Every structure is written in structure tokens, then in C-alpha cells.
């Protein structure tokens, strides 16, 4: 049986800071690069560095990342110092190598509201096992996952819905979209409004075309925010939030690290919980610590045989459990 419970699946971050103190301003980290952080406040964008005390306080994870709500103090016009980082309500993270063979948490985006997973119906062919991997990552991070089935015009609506019907049946929202016909674009635009979203998908699925159709330039890391903030002196990889146009606002996270998240970061004993359709049967197996692969009297395998769990999704689970990807 998994060590994770459905009621309390993931421990939350401990609070890092208290309420805003006099003389400080609250803001959101829009961009992070080479130890510099660009923070959006009510008065405008301020380029900040971390206070030394923060670097000493929190060594097991990233201190501040894009999406973090922070408190800053001004040290010069347009320049400031991050004094405190407020508790994160959610995060998209992976495990990264630390010093002396240890591991640390690599937080890519903080305070994420949702992840839009863009998968093409054709050209390239739909890859359900890759989608299953992404969904596992979202479940493990307790993030809402929205599936965007792109290029519907290449196969037709009926065929597209047949491809993604297994995911709708287990409760994942699916938006059927086509840049060519405009289908689904209003739904994508509505989903992005007022939220901090991560939009990801492998090369060729039409993610850039989709985002450009929803809002021109939204997919570009060198868009309006980059142009106004980049002073040409920092050269490492950039992570930033791109603003969503419209009265509701919102942001789309752009970070190369999202493309590098691997299933290897997930403890095997937590994998079964990340397949949401397996949860009603967890704990019903005869053997404690059942892997649901080969043990007798397994409640999960019985559910598969009874048609209560999709054989294709179960096969994805087995492959991931056995380390086959």
C-alpha cells in the first residue's frame, strides 16, 4: 500500500515569513536569472537580490522562483532586496542533484494554478504513455491538469474524442482545439484568464501556434516582459512569467526546466496514488506494499479484469512501476 494517503497526499511547505512589515512592499517574482529577481509590485517592477539571511535559512530547496509572493524593501530607485518569501500554496518541482551526491528540491514555478498539457491528435501521433507521465507529475504535485487536444482538424472531432475519451472518463477536462478552424481557442483563452498556468507539450504538437492564436507573442520568452527587463548583462537560462492580456490578467510560466521534468523524481511507492482511477482500490490488496504488478489477491488487478480500470492506463502504470517508461 502506498505511504501517501488520499486525504493528505503531500506535505505542504512550512511558512517562511509572517505578514508584511512596515516599509516593505509585496510583489510577485516575474523573472529569475543569475541571482537577480524582477518583482512586480503595485508601484511597478523592481530588480531585486536576496537578503543574505534568506540564503542561510532555507538550503533544501530554492529560496525564490517565478510565481513566488515576496516582501521587498527598496535600496535605490528601481532596485530592491527580497526580505521574505511568503508560503507557497502550490509548486511545480523536480528532484535535482545537490552536493556530495545528495538531492535537493528544484522548484520551477511557485503558486501554480494549473498545467495545460498540449497533445496533438496527429502529426505527431498521439502518445498516451507520455501523457500519462505528465499526468503523474501533475498529480504528484497536486496541480490541476487540463488536456488540450490540438490539431483536431487533422482527424475530425469524432476520432479526436475517441483518442481522449479514456481521460475524460476519469475526470480530466479535455479541450479539443484547432488553430486552423479556431475550435477550442475561446476555451483555452478562458482557462488562462486570471490564473498562473504552465503550458507544456513536446515539440511539434502545436503549443506555440496555439498560444499565438490565443494571444500573439504569449509563447515567446523574449516577449514584452523580457524586452523591458533584460539589461543585457545576465547570460544564464531565464525563467519568467508572461502576462495574459485581458481584464482578468493571469500569467503563463516559461521555463526550460519544464521540458526536462522526468518521472525519475517520483518515489515508486507513490506512483499508484498518481493514477487517480486506482485510488478507490488502494488498500484493498491482500499483501501490504503490493506493487499491483504480480502479487496474488490484488484489488487493482481485479479492477482491471472487471473493466473498472482501463487496461491501457494500467499498462502505463506497470511500465512506470517497473522503470520501463
Whether 7 is covered by a domain: the verdict is no
Distances (CA, A) of 188 to 92, 145, 178, 243, 274: 21, 13, 11, 15, 25
Q: Domain end: 69, 85, 101, which one?
A: 85
Say what the alpha-carbon torsion angle 305, 308, 312, 315 is, to the nearest 10 degrees: -60
Q: Domain end: 33, 68, 85, which one?
A: 85
Q: How many CB atoms lie within 10 A of CB 311?
A: 10
Residues 276 and 205 both lie in one domain: no
Residues 123 and 169 both lie in one domain: yes
Residues 33 and 118 both lie in one domain: no
Confidence (pLDDT) at 143: 94
**Residue 225 is placed in which grid cell?**
516582459
Confidence (pLDDT) at 99: 58
Q: What is the pTM of this model?
A: 0.81
Burial pattern 2-11, b for ≥16 Cβ within 10 A else e, equals bebeeeeeee
CA distance 140 to 144: 11
Q: How many CB atoms lie within 10 A of CB 289?
A: 10
Residues 256 and 134 both lie in one domain: yes
Whether 11 is covered by a domain: the verdict is no
Q: Which domain holds residue 256?
A: 111-221+241-260
Q: Report the residue count for the chain.
A: 325
Whether 101 is covered by a domain: the verdict is no
Residues 126 and 196 both lie in one domain: yes
- Helices (DSSP H) in the chain: which residue ranges? 52-57, 128-140, 157-169, 185-192, 207-214, 224-229, 271-274, 299-305, 311-321
What does DSSP say about strands 44-50 and 79-85: parallel, antiparallel, or unpaired?
Answer: parallel
**Residue 121 is placed in which grid cell?**
491528435
* Terminal-residue alpha carbon distance, the chain: 21
Residues 76 and 135 both lie in one domain: no
Residues 139 and 66 both lie in one domain: no
Bridge partners (DSSP) of residue 107 are: 93
Residues 127 and 214 both lie in one domain: yes
Residues 212 and 124 both lie in one domain: yes
Residues 150 and 249 both lie in one domain: yes
* Domain CATH code at residue 130: 3.40.50.300
Q: Which of 222, 234, 225 lies closest to 36 in space, CA to CA?
A: 234
Q: What is the residue whose three cell numbers read 479539443?
A: 176
Whether 57 is covered by a domain: the verdict is yes
CA distance 278 to 144: 18
Residues 137 and 212 both lie in one domain: yes
Q: pLDDT tens string for the chain (325 positions)?
A: 444 543 333 334 444 444 557 679 999 999 999 899 999 999 999 999 999 888 777 556 789 999 999 999 999 999 999 999 999 999 988 766 555 555 667 888 999 999 999 999 999 999 999 999 899 989 988 999 999 999 999 999 999 999 999 999 999 999 999 999 999 999 999 999 999 999 888 888 888 889 899 998 787 533 333 444 444 333 335 788 989 999 999 999 877 666 666 555 577 778 999 999 999 999 999 999 999 999 999 999 999 999 999 999 999 999 999 887 6
CA distance 321 to 133: 11
Residues 143 and 209 both lie in one domain: yes
Whether 99 is covered by a domain: the verdict is no
Confidence (pLDDT) at 225: 38
* Domain CATH code at residue 306: 1.10.40.50
Bridge partners (DSSP) of residue 149 are: 119, 176
Confidence (pLDDT) at 264: 52
CA distance 71 to 220: 28
Number of domains in the chain: 3
Amino acid at each position: 500500500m502506498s505511504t501517501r494517503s488520499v486525504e493528505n497526499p503531500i506535505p505542504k511547505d512550512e511558512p517562511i515569513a509572517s505578514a508584511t512589515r512596515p516599509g516593505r512592499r509585496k510583489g510577485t517574482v516575474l523573472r529569475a536569472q543569475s541571482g537577480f529577481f524582477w518583482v512586480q509590485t503595485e508601484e511597478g517592477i523592481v530588480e531585486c537580490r536576496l537578503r543574505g539571511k534568506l540564503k542561510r535559512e532555507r538550503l533544501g530547496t530554492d529560496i525564490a522562483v517565478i510565481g513566488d509572493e515576496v516582501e521587498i524593501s527598496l535600496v535605490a530607485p528601481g532596485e530592491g532586496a527580497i526580505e521574505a518569501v511568503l508560503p507557497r500554496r502550490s509548486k511545480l518541482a523536480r528532484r535535482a542533484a545537490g552536493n556530495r551526491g545528495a538531492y535537493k528540491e528544484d522548484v520551477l514555478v511557485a503558486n501554480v494554478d494549473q498545467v495545460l498539457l498540449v497533445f496533438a491528435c496527429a502529426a505527431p501521433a498521439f502518445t498516451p504513455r507520455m501523457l500519462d507521465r505528465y499526468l503523474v507529475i501533475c498529480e504528484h504535485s497536486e496541480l490541476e491538469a487540463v488536456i488540450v487536444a490540438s490539431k483536431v482538424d487533422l482527424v475530425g472531432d469524432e476520432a479526436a474524442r475517441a483518442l481522449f475519451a479514456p481521460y475524460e472518463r476519469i475526470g480530466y477536462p479535455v479541450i479539443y482545439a484547432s488553430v486552423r478552424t479556431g475550435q477550442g481557442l475561446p476555451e483555452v483563452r478562458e482557462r488562462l484568464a486570471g490564473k498562473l498556468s504552465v503550458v507544456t507539450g513536446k515539440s511539434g504538437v502545436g503549443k506555440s501556434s496555439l498560444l499565438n492564436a490565443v494571444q500573439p507573442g504569449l509563447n515567446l520568452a523574449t516577449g514584452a516582459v523580457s524586452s523591458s527587463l533584460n539589461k543585457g548583462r545576465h547570460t544564464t537560462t531565464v525563467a519568467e512569467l508572461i502576462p495574459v492580456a485581458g481584464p482578468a490578467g493571469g500569467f503563463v510560466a516559461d521555463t526550460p526546466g519544464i521540458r526536462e521534468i522526468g518521472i525519475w523524481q517520483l518515489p515508486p511507492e507513490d506512483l499508484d496514488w498518481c493514477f487517480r482511477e486506482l485510488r478507490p482500490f488502494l488498500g484493498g490488496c491482500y499483501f501490504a506494499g503490493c506493487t499491483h504488478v504480480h502479487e496474488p489477491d490484488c484489488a487493482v488487478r481485479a479492477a482491471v479484469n472487471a473493466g473498472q480500470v482501463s487496461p491501457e492506463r494500467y499498462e502505463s502504470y506497470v511500465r512506470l512501476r517497473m522503470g520501463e517508461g
